[in-house]
């Protein structure tokens, strides 16, 4: 019967008015010729129905974070060509953008089977604007105030003349290290621009690029000298040589694709080095899974932007994504969401098992590629909070005597590893041991964000440990946890990365850690003044899940505001910082949280060109930045999916 059944779900958002409270309505239409009864409507998306919401036209039967199940009132039959509407008047936060609403839906039928149904994008009452997706590609203007196309803009550009753009580049080197840079550049250009032949021999029109490595040149620095029949590239390392080649590749593409706007220089020099040590991005692969192929291409794009850190967020409440030999349940249970599974459909996943994980062999390949591209991969296992998926996979980690419930801000119950249990530390050290073998980075990130203030309040073991520590808050227990986790990493020669909440309670040692400052620049400045090394990534600016504007038609989140590309580009991450505070400033990164990104067109819309805008802030001296210049070239930068 179900094979012939067809339904459509429409959802609408109505903000509160003076006469009526807010409403989030779900209208299910039966497009088949058969009536249906005894069903539930199951939806998920970023929006979270408040458990205390008033529901009209039905009943909220189940709710876990953003997964909700509604049932009609007793003895209801949905007849053919008829509709059933249920309204929720109460959400964890108001909807601000079309991607906030339900992006997946299914029916749970009377016989226990499930039926996926299409969920149309949520519309705001009274707003009929075309919904946006896909990267905004700025057109290249006819006239630009600089002769060459380069992002991020170099430290010094003194060039003259214009030669016809060569068909390609023919890099040569006498040094084995420089040869590796050439190989990396060749692979990079083939991956990003497969038919352009950017690297080619002299026999096919390639212009010779002679590469020399010199010890007195900075590790990421390079110099390019344009000569009559060749180019001389000098660098201090493989990565510096790669960056120089990337600059030449960008100049070549600009001159080839837009010869009336950009030149290929006949003579002169480019001298370049990054302004900041840490130039990176974070990617959350727990809320949405990205295949190894997607991660690989994303790393290529980071390299084209001269970014050098990839903060890989491998676990969260919604999923666990890395193979750990000691605990196979982490991937057999924690990597998958679906109806009837320990983790239900969330954030756009449907009733069928959805998810994935990275095998150790896949991780080794990704880390090797990143190394070739000059990118340090910083893995994150978020703990002690954000561990709902871990605890669903390994329930024995809980205090067996714990009673009651506490909830995370995202609506997950009892989602924190218990710092009072030795089983917790055995688990943590076992997982970290396997991570250390996979990731050569000096930095391992342990999360430490958003632990609920009443976490472990029903655990006798936690209460006893808290009494021993002489404290009375969850922050004291988290600090105790972080001391042990950091001590383990220090013993293995690693630095501990964490979100800014790791400073609460003073549990993390300043000399062997860095913190991601994600709330405000003022908080980051305060932590720097206290002696913490800081990577600045404030949500209102550098969180790329935030929408590009306040318009409903833009996708993305809005809890931290919005950040259009120009606003992000012009943002000063250390405005008002003292010189002493700046001594603890490592750099900046964007953070890509994936809740709204079931639709990969939304990913492109939110990430590009904003990631390039951040890259220029990280590389280019502040006084040399120009939004007009950047915007003229941003359309030449690659995007990941290219969907509209």
Residues forming a β-bridge with 278: 587
| pLDDT (mean) for 389-393 | 98
The pair of structure tokens assigned to 414 is 């009892």
pLDDT of residue 3 exceeding 60, the answer is no
Are residues 14 and 87 located together in one domain of the fold? Answer: yes
Last residue of one domain, picked from the residues 101, 124, 147: 124
Q: Is residue 283, in this structure, part of any structural domain at all?
A: no
The answer on 193 and 111 residing in a single domain is no
Mean pLDDT within 104-122:
96
Same domain, 165 and 254: yes
Cis amide prior to 609 (ω within 30 degrees): yes
What tokens were used for 521?
């620049």
**Do residues 187 and 227 share a domain?**
yes
Work out whether the CA dihedral 506, 508, 509, 511 comes out positive or negative.
Answer: negative
Q: Please tell me the predicted confidence (pLDDT) of residue 174.
A: 85
Tens-digit pLDDT profile for residues 409-420: 999 999 999 999
Within-domain flag for 209: yes
Residue 1 confidence (pLDDT): 44
Confidence at residue 506, expressed as pLDDT on a 0 to 100 scale? 85
Q: Quote the pLDDT of residue 300.
A: 98
pLDDT band for position 5 (50/70/90)?
confident
* pLDDT over 70 (residue 349): yes
What per-residue confidence (pLDDT) applies to 644?
A: 73
* Contact criterion met (CB below 8 Å) for 486 and 478: no
Regarding whether 264 and 190 lie in a shared domain, the answer is yes
pLDDT of residue 275: 98
SS3 376: strand
User: Sign of dihedral through CA atoms 60, 63, 65, 68?
Assistant: negative
Nearest residue to 152 (alpha-carbon basis) of 626, 520, 640, 605: 626
Tokens representing 433? Answer: 């041991």
Nearest to 356 by CA among 293, 408, 411, 272: 293
**Residues 182 and 104 occupy one common structural domain:** no
Structure confidence at residue 19 (pLDDT): 85
Question: Is 235 a member of any domain?
Answer: yes
pTM of the model: 0.97
Cα 94 to Cα 97: distance, rounded to the nearest angstrom: 10
Residue 70 lies in a domain: yes
Average pLDDT over residues 30-38: 95
CATH number of the domain enclosing 260: 3.30.379.10
What average pLDDT does the segment 186-215 reach?
97
Token representation of residue 280: 């990176």
pLDDT tens digits for range 562-601: 999 999 999 999 999 999 999 999 999 999 999 999 999 9
- Give CA separation, 65 vs 7, 27, 44, 169, 618, in Å: 25, 21, 9, 52, 36
Mean pLDDT within 2-30: 90
Q: What is the mean pLDDT of residues 279-285?
A: 98
Q: What is the pLDDT of residue 2?
A: 47
Percent of the chain with pLDDT over 90: 96
Burial 151-186 (b: 16+ CB within 10 A, else e): bbbbbebebeeeeebbbbbbbebeeeebbbbbebbb
In a domain, 172, yes or no: yes
Contact 13, 123 (CB under 8 A): yes
- Looking at the structure, tell me whether residues 88 and 185 fall in a common domain: no
Question: Which token pair is 361?
Answer: 């062999």
Domain edge (last residue) among 240, 257, 272: 272
Domain span at 80: 2-124
Mean pLDDT, rounded, for 140-144: 94
Residue 154 is given by DSSP the state P
Q: Which of 20-41 are b and which e, b meaning 16 or more Cβ less than 10 Å from the residue's Cβ?
A: eebbbbbbbbbebeeebeebbb
Do 106 and 199 lie in a common domain?
Answer: no
Q: Are residues 110 and 174 in the same domain?
A: no
Domain assignment present for residue 334? The answer is no
Q: Residue 131: pLDDT above 70?
A: yes
Of 256, 272, 288, the position where a domain reaches its end is 272
What does the pLDDT look like over 480-533, one tens digit per residue?
Answer: 999 999 999 999 999 999 999 999 988 899 999 999 999 999 999 999 999 999
**What is the band of 307 on the pLDDT scale with cuts at 50, 70, 90?**
very high
Residue 197 has pLDDT above 90, yes or no: yes
What is the Cα–Cα distance from 473 to 455, expressed in whole angstroms? 9
Q: Rounded to whole angstroms, how far apart are CA atoms 239 and 630?
A: 24
The region that residue 47 occupies, defined by phi over 0 for left and psi between -120 and 50 for alpha, beta otherwise, is beta
Structural domains counted in the chain: 2
* Per-residue pLDDT at 465 exceeds 50: yes
pLDDT band at 177 (very low <50, low <70, confident <90, very high): very high
Task: State whether 119 and 202 are in the same domain.
Answer: no
Burial of 464 (0-12, 13-18, 19+ CB in 10 A): exposed
Residue at 525 is within a domain? no
Average pLDDT, rounded, for the chain = 96
Domain assignment present for 268:
yes
- 116, 175: one domain: no
Q: Any idea what the CATH number is for the domain that residue 97 is in? A: 2.60.40.290
Tens digit of each residue's pLDDT (9 = 90 or more) over 443-462: 999 999 999 999 999 999 99
Q: Which DSSP helix (H) or strand (E) runs through 75?
A: none
């Amino acid at each position: 019967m179900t094979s012939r059944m067809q339904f459509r779900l429409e959802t609408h958002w109505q903000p509160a008015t003076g006469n009526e409270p807010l409403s989030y309505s779900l209208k299910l239409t039966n497009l088949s010729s058969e009536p249906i009864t005894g069903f539930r409507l199951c939806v998920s998306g970023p929006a979270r129905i408040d458990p205390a919401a008033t529901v009209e036209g039905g009943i909220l039967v189940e709710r876990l974070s953003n997964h909700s199940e509604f049932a009609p009132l007793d003895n209801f039959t949905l007849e053919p060509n008829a509709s059933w509407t249920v309204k929720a008047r109460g959400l964890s936060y108001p909807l601000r953008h079309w991607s906030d609403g339900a992006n997946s839906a299914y029916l749970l039928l009377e016989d226990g089977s499930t039926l996926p149904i299409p969920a149309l994008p949520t519309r705001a009452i009274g707003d009929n604007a075309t919904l946006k997706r896909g990267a905004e590609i700025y057109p290249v203007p006819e006239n630009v105030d600089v002769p060459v196309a380069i992002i991020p803009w170099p430290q010094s550009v003194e060039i003259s003349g214009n030669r016809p753009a060569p068909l390609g580049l023919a890099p040569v080197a006498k040094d084995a290290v420089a040869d590796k840079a050439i190989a990396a550049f060749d692979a990079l250009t083939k991956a990003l621009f497969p038919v352009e032949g950017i690297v080619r021999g002299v026999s096919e029109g390639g212009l010779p690029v002679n590469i020399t490595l010199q010890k007195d040149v900075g590790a990421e620095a390079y110099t390019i000298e344009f000569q009559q029949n060749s180019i001389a590239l000098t660098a201090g390392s493989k990565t510096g040589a790669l960056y120089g080649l990337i600059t030449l590749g960008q100049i070549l593409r600009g001159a080839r694709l837009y010869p009336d706007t950009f030149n290929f220089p006949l003579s002169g020099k480019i001298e370049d080095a990054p302004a900041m040590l840490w130039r990176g991005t974070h990617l959350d692969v727990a809320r949405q899974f990205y295949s190894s192929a997607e991660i690989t291409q994303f790393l290529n794009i980071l390299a084209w932007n001269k970014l050098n850190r990839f903060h890989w967020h491998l676990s969260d409440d919604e999923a666990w994504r890395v193979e750990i030999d000691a605990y196979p349940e982490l991937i057999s249970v924690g990597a998958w969401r679906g109806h009837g599974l320990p983790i239900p459909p969330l954030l756009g996943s449907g009733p069928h098992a959805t998810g994935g994980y990275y095998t150790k062999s896949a991780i080794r390949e990704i880390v090797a590629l990143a190394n070739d591209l000059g990118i340090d991969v910083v893995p994150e296992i978020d703990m002690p909070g954000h561990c709902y998926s871990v605890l669903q996979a390994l329930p024995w980690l809980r205090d067996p005597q714990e009673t009651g419930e506490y909830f995370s801000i995202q609506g997950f119950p009892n989602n924190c590893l218990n710092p009072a249990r030795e089983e917790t530390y055995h688990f943590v050290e076992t997982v970290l041991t396997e991570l250390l073998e996979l990731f050569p980075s000096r930095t391992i990130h342990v999360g430490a964000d958003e632990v609920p203030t009443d976490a472990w309040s029903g655990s006798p073991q936690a209460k006893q440990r808290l009494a021993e520590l002489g404290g009375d808050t969850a922050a004291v227990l988290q600090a105790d946890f972080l001391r042990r986790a950091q001590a383990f990493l220090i013993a293995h020669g690693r630095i501990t990365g964490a979100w800014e909440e790791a400073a609460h309670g003073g549990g993390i040692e300043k000399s062997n850690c860095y913190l991601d400052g994600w709330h405000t620049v003022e908080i980051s400045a305060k932590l720097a003044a206290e002696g913490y090394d800081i990577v600045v990534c404030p949500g209102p600016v550098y969180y790329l899940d935030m929408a590009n504007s306040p318009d409903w038609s833009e996708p993305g989140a809005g809890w931290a505001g919005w950040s259009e590309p120009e606003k992000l580009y012009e943002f000063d991450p250390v405005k008002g910082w003292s010189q002493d505070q700046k001594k603890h400033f490592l750099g900046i990164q964007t953070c890509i949280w994936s809740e709204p990104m079931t639709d990969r067109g939304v990913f492109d819309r939110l990430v590009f060109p904003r990631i390039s805008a951040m890259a220029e802030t990280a590389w280019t001296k502040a006084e040399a930045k120009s939004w007009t210049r950047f915007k003229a070239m941003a359309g030449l930068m690659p995007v990941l999916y290219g969907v509209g």
